[in-house]
Chain A
């Protein structure tokens, strides 16, 4: 994984649920990850999918990703190039989905209080820092287990690697 990423902030509020991140009506009809990306944030911010750039960062309040267990809500952001999600807190299943698709998730309240929509920021995963014009904010580095999964690119590549190692 890239140790430092730079991108623009897409800022949203509290309790952003998976139905607005990826509408339920597409969960069985849209199977192509690239197409999932086109519906990302459709019911929350129709401008998002058309304008988000590689390594942009989603910044949200508490309980990001609450609701359904649908993995598409993490996949659709990953395929659009989102480099990380920073939230005050994450819903439990979204946290799992994020880790499992290899999306870095950062729990940090200060960033939410200081950065605004459109701000340019830098995230240093090695040092555990979020940097921008409005300040530098620390977050604890990922624990070894999560880092292993994120670094491998997600749970599936991680499992593949583990099985290959065990078979050796």
Chain B
């Protein structure tokens, strides 16, 4: 009987010959990530009544949600985490100087095909970009993994998204992901594993796969997954933190739903307030005045994203009524962006650069909007109050759309200021620290 990726990997890890959707299994993950919530998790762990971690090598901790700390409470939180990590011998620890958890994990070779990875962060679906079974779990669950190593999963049904065609100018994987969410809605893939396959999916870069799988959770999915191929194997060459064995869906396995997406038919889109599935063509919302542009977050702040921003801003200045906050995904991305001149271009054009981390995405610091203000952002959520002020509005779009909007001070069609993607890709090949492997 042909099986899906999720059925195969969950059977393998739970020691069963086969499992079916709906079944509850217990597994030991390869990696259990937690971030600034590790302090709260450690307090829950203490309540279980076990002195030692089941296996400190499963755990990976990144400080990113409010770095450097904005106030005393955040500072104490970080201090508690450093003490916990030291006491329990967690070696995979990344302090405030690294960047956003999902990006840091990818850069350090922790995201591996055919592994099970959990994160106490809903955007842990990102790891599916590397062919891992990556999913967000709760704080208590990470505490239980600390104590017992184990976590329960319901075996998910699977949705296949068949991707064909080629992107037109000004259209990116962000538009594809938002396009899918607009089509199937925020609960369209509820509890499901979503496999992004088809001839076009294999052409996506590492960065593009991460953007796509990161947004799988906004479709309601348990995991996003791109079948790992040479793009991923090349990226992991000399980088993989452990050995790995890819797992693939069997040819002819059962998909509960199949959605076709033709890239050639897509146009630039914007997710409008206050839900990610409120997706409209940019042409419908163009002209809306915005006070802030935010290029950052685990969704879209890698080197390729900053390159597009810099190419739009080169020789231009942002509109005088608009602020542009730019937060690179990681320190490695920031250094590469400096070497390639992107940071100089962005700051000279009026951009405000902040430390790699999550920034204002969930309203902690570094760009919380004022009452009545509108922000267009490369992030993945636009819920009411998300950026820290319930009386503000957030629009989501690609880095290109955000960049052009910064120049005009209004939500704008990215095609107003075209960029030369061939030139950008040739520059990106010079990146040494955060390579974004190009296949197109």
Contact = CB atoms under 8 A, between A and B. Distances in A.
Interface of A: 15, 17, 19-20, 23-25, 27-29, 31, 43, 62-63, 66-71, 89, 91-93, 95-97, 100-101, 143, 145, 154-156, 159-160, 162-164
B222 interface: yes
A19 B385 contact: yes
Give the bracket for the number of chain B residues in contact with chain A. Answer: 35 or more
B220 A28 contact: no
Contacts of A163: 48-50, 147-148
A29 B71 CA distance: 9
Given A27-B362, A67-B383, A92-B190, 16 more contacts: A24-B362, A24-B364, A25-B388, A43-B384, A43-B385, A68-B122, A68-B381, A69-B139, A71-B139, A71-B140, A92-B221, A93-B138, A156-B143, A159-B48, A163-B147, A164-B49
A94 B65 CA distance: 21
A67 B187 contact: no
A155 B140 contact: yes
B77 A160 contact: no
B362 A63 contact: no
A15 B385 CA distance: 15
B362 A66 contact: no
B363 A25 contact: yes
Contacts, number: 122
Contacts of A71: 138-140
Interface string B54-90: 0000000000011000010110010000000000000
Contacts of A20: 383-385
B440 interface: no
16 contacts: A20-B384, A23-B363, A23-B390, A24-B363, A24-B364, A24-B388, A28-B36, A43-B384, A62-B187, A69-B122, A69-B137, A69-B139, A92-B220, A92-B222, A145-B152, A159-B147
Given A20-B383, A20-B385, A155-B141, A63 B190 contact: yes
B294 to A, nearest CB: 15
Interface string B376-394: 0000010111101010000
A17 B276 CA distance: 11
